Structure 1
Amino acid sequence: MTPKNDPLLFAEFPPVSKEAWLEKIANDLKGKPLEKLAWRPAGPLRLSPVYTAEDLDVTANGIDGTPGVYPYRRGNRFHADGPGWQIVQEIPVQTGPQGRSLLRSAQSSDIPAVWVRGQTSETKALEALLSDLDITHTALHLDWPAMPSLLASDLYVAIAQQDGTRPEHLTGTLVNDPLSRSAKTGKTVSDFDLENFRAALDAFGTSPHFRACAADFSYIHEQGGHAVQELAFALSTLVDYLVWLGETEGRDAQEEYLRNLAVTFATGSQFFLEVAKWRAFRVLLAKVLDSMGFTDPDLQSPFLIARTAYRNLSRYDRHTNLLRNTTEAISAVFGGVQAVVVSAYDRVDHAESDTSLRLARNIQHLMKHEAYLDQVQDPAGGSYYVEQLTDQLGEAAWTSFQELEAAGGFRAALASGQIGQLLAEARTAQEQLLAKRRLTQIGVNNYPHPSETLAGDPTADDGRQAVPFEQLRLRADAFAAARGGQRLRAFLLLFGDTRMRNARSQFARNLIGSGGWEVLENSNPQEVEASLQEAIAAKPEAVVLCSADPAYFEQGPELISRLRAALPDIRIILAGKPEGAESLPVDDLIYAGLDAQAYLASLLQSVVPA
């Protein structure tokens, strides 16, 4: 019996039809169209603001299914003792004593697994780091792109043998994915790369608990791709590997690959979309494998690893990264992954320390031991919204996947430049949303901490979405430093209607503060003359008028005239976009939908020429 039909649970609550809900919403909107509330979270997806039980078909696509049963919508494993997941500590430093120290510290904290990432091609660096690994108690997820995967495999196996560890006791994964590496770096995939990929799989032939073919699709999110592309590109990549193995070696090699498969995605900040992404991926992969004749559940259940995204991190207000990492990790757990890697909040500064790594792993300890998230499997299951999102995301990704296959598959799309073009288009669209503050990043384009400064070199474009705003902030910081710490100042002159002046002043404070300006405001908006004198006395670089539209035309002209007479170089800004604003002698209008990034750049240029 489903809960909605339980007479004891819902006897006093008669069912409400979707039509009744829509009627109630229409009344609340007071004539505004419901379409205004529709959300477009990724690519072609368009989501309604309301879903009800009438939108849910519990018999479709495994919604009413069981974890561990095809099509794996609710999880690709059934956990009798709770779902659980593997807590993985990222070890970011690949050479020297610092990396070894961080590794020893992680192991002393009884961490079950480590993710070791490195960039050097020197075998001694990896060998030294792995020599400190307690292989019998700690799983290793190895990501060492600068070294051929076969060489990394041989090193690990050799160290294990020296340590007396039997091959069947090795656990973990090896990032062994030349196609994704090519998409990330732009280097062409060679036959040698594919042969090396296959040979690395053989190196762990007697290690059933070590998955030597970890496909790392985190680059898609990190390069600005959306969830539909993540799923479509991942499916197409996996199909390419299966086709290549089938053509070169046959069915046994394909099955060996699937038994050794692990899949990694970056998990982003759109919580419910990320939950749905993992659920949809399992359904789609099962559908693909089923169509290719791989019906064994063991072949349809790759080990799923989530990594908190680098693209979402910020340098300013960087402790907010802890909150981002937390929600991203929770969404992955709700989505049903087997392992989670939480990066240090200061990874963006390449300054990871024992403290920041401890905070990273403690996020997951709190999730398990305080929030008990390991006690419930598929907690989002049955949610009208999440189930609809799972279906729509899966349908859109399937269409995109079929288009890639019709064009020759992932490798062909990569060689033609199609993959790069699609990612560039998605990134541009996302950057526009951030620039116009349709997509909010706390501490970056909304709710900034403008008095915070950064030390070190200016921010380079490392792919993070916060970089354009950070570069503006750094210019403002440099200007402040050049004049003894005095920041650019904007004075919010509040007057008139209380509700409108407060709303517009809050909007202006967040927007202008995002450019690194110090924001002041008058102490008593009821006293207009005193407020004007207060603004003049502050001698700011800009004054922002904050009131209701009628007051701008009634009191604005005189205020503007007197401000210009007292402060000839002042820049006067109007918060809002009232009809007829062009008749007011102001320099700028700021309003919802404005390209905040471009505006802040022009505002900075007007007072601090480059």
Structure 2
Amino acid sequence: MVAHSKSSGVGPELALAADFPEPTHEQWQAQVAKVLQRSGLVGDDPAGPVEDVLATTTYDGITVRPLYTEPAGETGVPGLAPFVRGSRPQGSVAEGWDVRQRHDNPDAAETNREVLADLHNGVSSLWLRLGRGGLAVDDLADALDGVHLDMIGVALDAGAETTAAADALFALAEEQGVRPHALRGTLGADPLGWQARTGQAGDEEEAVALAERCAGLPELGALVVDGLPYHEAGGSDAQELGCSLAAATTYLRWLTEAGIDVETAARLVEFRYAATADQFLTIAKLRAARRLWEQVTRTCGVAERARGQRQHAVTSPAMLTKRDPWVNMLRTTIASFAAGIGGAQAVTTLPFDAAIGLPDSFARRIARNTQSLLLEESHLAQVIDPAGGSYYVESLTDELAKAAWAWFQRIEAAGGLPAALGSGLVADALAATWEQRRTAIAHRRDAITGVSEFPDLDEPVLEREPAPEQPGGGLPVHRYAEDFERLRDAADAQPTRPTVFLATLGSLAAHNARASFARNLFAAGGVACTDAGATESTADVLAAYDGAPVVCLCSSDEVYADRAAETAEALKRAGARQVLLAGKPSGTGGVDGYVHAGCDALAVLTDVHEQLGVRR
């Protein structure tokens, strides 16, 4: 619609929607109710608001609603407290975020080739795993041969050998003639992260000594608060945030008790968070993390200018799959996007084959290029806080911050993170969340593309050189796909592919939808399917039956009513040990179980494996 404006002096202007009446919330509800009624999701007279049907709940108990009409929580402006909208006034516009690639190959020569290739092709800082689980500390100089330490940042991750790694870095800088003041990155001391990973108490004195060493260096941090151990143990976003905040608070206590002023102590700490393919939760998590840190540092007396949080976001190792690893490219792209939008200063995109072993050059290139495309072609960093003003994101940030703060208070009430790790408080809470997550994955409410949904039985398995074994003994390390992938591995190890017979009843139109569903479900456990095709009678099904111990009936409800019980009994007489039916439980005679949307697919597949004699 075109409206003529006399005030502009430049002729007609487009009013767009300005001349239309603003729709009310009640009108929106009425339209949504019509759609849900046509879909069969609600009756003609819904018992409650239609929003309840569309709402989902996170693992922190936060209800995600389909529509948000009001802002929530304090957001401020970029660069000022509470730093929800970013730690810097200009956001990422000035220079983007730091593209940080991880290196853990124990071969120093190969690591050097990978490092130089990364730096030549867009990476701006390095994350080096050293000691147990990575490159030998003594090989650091060889791995960084040709690298100018005054031009790139280095984040060390050396566990129990942190001091030795720091000594090696400073020695290399001195050899290059680089003054310590020019060094950027972090020495990576994380005693509580080490305790979480290994169950062994970290070295407080080492952390304090390294902090004192870096106190006068403006761009080099000493400590890292790593949220990945809690994330990989199956924890929720709020649990990861709360544990991270408790670790950082402990580090502040240690440093200030050693005589380091609180502002310097806060500057020396960098936070590492997991970025997942749930882009809005990742954006909200990074925003909530800055708000929580600002609250702690403000209470400790830190000046506003020094309350911003240094964030390093890593695409989640837990979400990566070994099966159909190409889908990991999509997962890590979404996660990297969310990390950048969420305001992380450094982002690591893990290669798509990282769950299989040491990444190859192609996978590393794809990981680099993912961020290059986001920065240079999508121009994400040229907008200050793109998520700002979204009622959904701001509400999610507010609720996530409150849930994380409540968990942080529980940890503090238990004596702080060291005590909570030692008593099992943290482990028990994370284990409970993991069981909830595991159940959702088993029922395919949390679908994993290429693994629990749309698996490809003919997919060739990628092979990679094994990655170094990481220190363990503390919190468990999970991947979301691990249960389904164990079934796939067991099925693949059999001399012949285990098979289920689909007893397709009726015409193609009658059985195709449920046969496709069943074939997809069984493939998630590495089980192939044969089928009877179009059949007109039980005799047709028996003529096509190949003797498989497990059979699944597939057809429409109408055909089931006529033929399912009779066909099931006939198949059992022909040798079938177990007869399933694709559809909701209906009390059909002769049927031993049902497969349907929302069923416990993992339990069904485990039982089918047992019936077929599949051994792990």
Q: Hey, what does 1:15 align to over in structure 2?
A: 22
1:244 to 231, 242, 254: 254
Alignment of 1:156-175 (within 5 A): 156-175=169-188
In structure 2, the CA distance between the partners of 1:533 and 1:91, relative to structure 1 (3 Å rule), is: same
In structure 2, the CA distance between the partners of 1:556 and 1:325, relative to structure 1 (3 Å rule), is: same
Q: Hey, what does 2:487 align to over in structure 1?
A: 472
In structure 2, the CA distance between the partners of 1:347 and 1:36, relative to structure 1 (3 Å rule), is: same
1:534 & 1:430 partners in 2: Cα distance? Answer: 43
Q: Hey, what does 1:588 align to over in structure 2?
A: 593
In structure 2, the CA distance between the partners of 1:227 and 1:531, relative to structure 1 (3 Å rule), is: farther
In structure 2, the CA distance between the partners of 1:75 and 1:571, relative to structure 1 (3 Å rule), is: same
In structure 2, the CA distance between the partners of 1:96 and 1:129, relative to structure 1 (3 Å rule), is: closer
2:586 to 573, 579, 583: 579
How far apart are 1:384 and its partner, in Å?
2.5
Which deviates more from structure 2 when the two are superposed, residues 418-427 or residues 366-375? 366-375
How far apart are 1:18 and its partner, in Å?
2.4
Contact 2:276-2:316 at 8 Å conserved across structures = yes
1:140 to 150, 154, 157: 154
Q: One-letter code of the match for 2:541?
A: L
How far apart are 1:576 and its partner, in Å?
1.4
Q: Hey, what does 2:90 align to over in structure 1?
A: 79
Which string of whole-angstrom CA distances, capped at 9 and with x for unpartnered residues, describes residues 38-68 of structure 1? 21122222222x2232x325xx402xx3211
Alignment of 1:332-347 (within 5 A): 332-347=339-354
Q: Tell me, what secondary structure is at the counterpart of 2:490? A: helix
In structure 2, the CA distance between the partners of 1:419 and 1:471, relative to structure 1 (3 Å rule), is: same
Q: Is 1:51 equivalent to 2:51 in the alignment?
A: no
Q: Hey, what does 1:508 align to over in structure 2?
A: 518
Contact 2:492-2:526 at 8 Å conserved across structures = yes
1:380 to 383, 387, 404: 387
Unaligned segments of structure 1, at least 5 residues: 1-5
Q: Is 1:29 equivalent to 2:36 in the alignment?
A: yes
Contact 1:512-1:519 at 8 Å conserved across structures = yes
Q: Is 1:232 equivalent to 2:249 in the alignment?
A: no
Q: Hey, what does 2:428 align to over in structure 1?
A: 421
Measured on the aligned residues, the alpha-carbon RMSD in Å equals 2.8
Contact 1:82-1:376 at 8 Å conserved across structures = no
1:376 & 1:528 partners in 2: Cα distance? Answer: 65
Contact 1:167-1:207 at 8 Å conserved across structures = yes
Q: Is 1:278 equivalent to 2:290 in the alignment?
A: no
Q: Hey, what does 2:10 align to over in structure 1?
A: none
Which string of whole-angstrom CA distances, capped at 9 and with x for unpartnered residues, describes residues 106-154 of structure 1? 233242111111333853123432344321322111111141x222222
Q: Tell me, what secondary structure is at the counterpart of 1:187? A: coil
Q: Hey, what does 1:606 align to over in structure 2?
A: 611
Q: One-letter code of the match for 1:532?
A: V
Q: Hey, what does 1:551 align to over in structure 2?
A: 559
Which deviates more from structure 2 when the two are superposed, residues 102-111 or residues 321-330? 102-111
Q: Is 1:98 equivalent to 2:110 in the alignment?
A: yes
1:199 & 1:377 partners in 2: Cα distance? Answer: 37
In structure 2, the CA distance between the partners of 1:507 and 1:381, relative to structure 1 (3 Å rule), is: farther
In structure 2, the CA distance between the partners of 1:205 and 1:241, relative to structure 1 (3 Å rule), is: closer
Which deviates more from structure 2 when the two are superposed, residues 325-334 or residues 197-206? 197-206
Q: Hey, what does 2:472 align to over in structure 1?
A: none
Q: Is 1:324 equivalent to 2:331 in the alignment?
A: yes
Q: One-letter code of the match for 1:164?
A: G
Q: Is 1:412 equivalent to 2:419 in the alignment?
A: yes
1:184 to 181, 193, 197: 197
Q: Hey, what does 1:126 align to over in structure 2?
A: 140
In structure 2, the CA distance between the partners of 1:491 and 1:289, relative to structure 1 (3 Å rule), is: same
Q: One-letter code of the match for 1:380?
A: A
Contact 2:511-2:556 at 8 Å conserved across structures = yes
Q: Hey, what does 1:492 align to over in structure 2?
A: 502
Unaligned segments of structure 2, at least 5 residues: 1-12, 38-42, 470-475
Q: One-letter code of the match for 1:590?
A: V
Q: One-letter code of the match for 2:176?
A: D
1:237 & 1:212 partners in 2: Cα distance? Answer: 14
Q: Tell me, what secondary structure is at the counterpart of 2:57? A: coil
Q: One-letter code of the match for 1:558?
A: E
Q: Is 1:350 equivalent to 2:361 in the alignment?
A: no
Q: Hey, what does 2:6 align to over in structure 1?
A: none
1:577 & 1:596 partners in 2: Cα distance? Answer: 13
How far apart are 1:608 and its partner, in Å?
1.1
In structure 2, the CA distance between the partners of 1:94 and 1:215, relative to structure 1 (3 Å rule), is: farther
1:369 & 1:456 partners in 2: Cα distance? Answer: 32
Q: One-letter code of the match for 1:513?
A: A
How far apart are 1:292 and its partner, in Å?
2.2
Which string of whole-angstrom CA distances, capped at 9 and with x for unpartnered residues, describes residues 344-390 of structure 1? 11111213122211111111111122222122222222222222211
Could you state the TM-score of these two structures normalised by the residue count of structure 2? Answer: 0.88
Could you state the TM-score of these two structures normalised by the residue count of structure 1? Answer: 0.89
1:41 to 33, 58, 61: 58
Q: One-letter code of the match for 1:289?
A: T
Alignment of 1:187-198 (within 5 A): 187-189=200-202, 193-198=203-208
1:570 & 1:497 partners in 2: Cα distance? Answer: 26
Which string of whole-angstrom CA distances, capped at 9 and with x for unpartnered residues, describes residues 504-539 of structure 1? 3333222111000123445547x5679636742x55
2:366 & 2:477 partners in 1: Cα distance? Answer: 24
How far apart are 1:316 and its partner, in Å?
1.0
How far apart are 1:170 and its partner, in Å?
1.1
In structure 2, the CA distance between the partners of 1:503 and 1:381, relative to structure 1 (3 Å rule), is: farther
Which deviates more from structure 2 when the two are superposed, residues 158-167 or residues 374-383? 374-383
How far apart are 1:302 and its partner, in Å?
2.4
2:541 to 529, 532, 538: 532
1:79 & 1:465 partners in 2: Cα distance? Answer: 37
Which deviates more from structure 2 when the two are superposed, residues 398-407 or residues 75-84? 75-84
2:414 & 2:577 partners in 1: Cα distance? Answer: 58
Which string of whole-angstrom CA distances, capped at 9 and with x for unpartnered residues, describes residues 213-253 of structure 1? 2221111111111001011111111112222333332xx43
Contact 1:221-1:268 at 8 Å conserved across structures = no
Q: One-letter code of the match for 2:180?
A: P
2:350 & 2:540 partners in 1: Cα distance? Answer: 47
Which string of whole-angstrom CA distances, capped at 9 and with x for unpartnered residues, describes residues 269-305 of structure 1? 22211111011111121122222221332x2112211
Q: Hey, what does 1:3 align to over in structure 2?
A: none
Which string of whole-angstrom CA distances, capped at 9 and with x for unpartnered residues, describes residues 391-432 of structure 1? 111111122222222232222212222111111111121111
2:614 & 2:532 partners in 1: Cα distance? Answer: 28
1:378 & 1:509 partners in 2: Cα distance? Answer: 45
How far apart are 1:495 and its partner, in Å?
4.1
2:60 & 2:319 partners in 1: Cα distance? Answer: 18
Q: Tell me, what secondary structure is at the counterpart of 1:119? A: coil
Contact 2:511-2:554 at 8 Å conserved across structures = yes
2:122 & 2:490 partners in 1: Cα distance? Answer: 44
Which string of whole-angstrom CA distances, capped at 9 and with x for unpartnered residues, describes residues 564-607 of structure 1? 45x413642201124323xx212321123322112211111111
In structure 2, the CA distance between the partners of 1:456 and 1:67, relative to structure 1 (3 Å rule), is: closer
